[in-house]
Amino acid sequence: MEITENTKRFIGILAKIPMFQRLQPVQALEILKICKPTSFDDREALVAHGSKSTEMYILLSGKLVVTAPDGTALTTLNPITSVGEMGIITNQPCTANVIVSGKASVFEISKIKLEVLLKKFPDIGFIIFRNIILTLSDRLDNTNQQLVESQHAAELLRSGEPAPQ
């Protein structure tokens, strides 16, 4: 089977998503087969806090705003990034709202289609789950480092010493 330039471009996009890194092109092609191109309008919600995770999204164009349950903006996401991937793996409810800013195009991957694919291709599942573990490990390391820095800052405040610049 010949791979078109467009398909090569989308395989390159998948390779930028941490969950799909280190997949062989033929494996990435299997992921692409379950991707549904979808567009969203301004202020449309992709993800609602507390809802069940049934899809993940790969942002191809546009911007997404992640907000806390009270509506406080936490961050803005730009292409190429993903949202919802942890929820479809862990079955945990969504921890934030994700709202479209302007218009956005995404690849939508349903939890059901991903589960079927992972059963059919366990080698792809092994790579994806290893990538998720690496991502979570990095997040834990970053959180630990932030805690250490916060504790040092709190100690300095308690001692009355000026914080280093």
Model confidence pLDDT, tens digit, residues 23-66: 999 999 999 999 999 999 999 999 999 999 899 999 999 999 99
Query: Residue 150 falls within a domain, yes or no?
Result: yes
Q: What is the pLDDT of residue 139?
A: 83
User: Quick one: DSSP state of residue 49?
Assistant: T
Q: What is the pLDDT of residue 40?
A: 97
Q: Is 20 left (phi over 0), alpha (psi -120 to 50) or beta?
A: alpha
Q: If pLDDT is split at 50, 70 and 90, which confidence band does 140 have? A: confident
pTM for the model stands at 0.82
CA distance 124 to 70: 38
Tell me the residue range of the domain where 80 lies.
5-159
CA distance 27 to 24: 5
Q: What is the pLDDT of residue 163?
A: 57
Amino acid present at 142: N
Query: Residue 165 falls within a domain, yes or no?
Result: no
Query: Residue 94 falls within a domain, yes or no?
Result: yes
**How is the chain split among helix, strand and coil, in percent rounded to 5?**
45, 25, 25
| Count of domains forming the chain | 1
The domain that holds 57 is classified in CATH as 2.60.120.10
Query: Residue 120 falls within a domain, yes or no?
Result: yes
pLDDT in tens, 82-119: 999 888 988 899 999 999 999 999 999 999 999 999 99
Q: What is the pLDDT of residue 164?
A: 62
